[in-house]
Amino acid sequence: MSNQPFVIERIFDAPVERVWKALTDKEQMKQWYFDLAEFKPEPGFEFSFEGGKDDRSYLHLCKITDVIPLKKLRYSWRYQGYDGISFVTFELFGEGSKTRLILTHEGLETFPYNNPDFAKENFAQGWSHIIGISLKEFLENTAVKK
């Protein structure tokens, strides 16, 4: 049983329909996510965007793999010119007038290979304080489910 390296969960004070629209409508996505040339919530649809941190930007290449309207949106997520592939899944659960969103980003461990930004020297900075807070959480998150 494979684990999920990264999961984040939120409850929004908005019904599922509105959250789904914010995730899949190009005009709405622009306001909180990325400004895409086009977006269609259909399996096989491909989109890309520039994103990164500080002075470095990467072309993100994404391809939709799963769409269950109002419930689930999943796409691949990789970086042009680099090895590795990850998958982002948005899952929505209606809870009355609210919506629980579970975002899973799998396959992050496939990236660091080959990327100068991901090289070990760059991990050294900030390493010591992060290990204290995140290691425990990391280990708990990666505990294999029995």
Q: Which residues bind other proteins (CB under 8 A)?
A: 1-3, 5-6, 8, 10, 12-14, 18-19, 22, 28, 31-33, 53, 97, 101, 103, 105, 108-113, 118, 120, 123, 126-128, 130-131, 134-135, 137-139, 142-144
For residue 12 the two structure tokens come to 């929004």
**Minimum CB distance to other proteins smaller for 31 or for 42:** 31
Q: Quick one: which of 141, 69, 136, 81 has its CA closest to 105? A: 141
In this complex, which beta carbon is closest to other proteins, that of residue 67 or of residue 103?
103
Q: Which helix (H) or strand (E) holds 134?
A: helix 127-142
Cβ proximity to other proteins, 73 vs 101, nearer residue: 101
Please state the length of the chain.
Answer: 146
- Nearest CA to 103 out of 16, 20, 9 is that of 9
Least distance CB 47 / other proteins (angstroms): 16
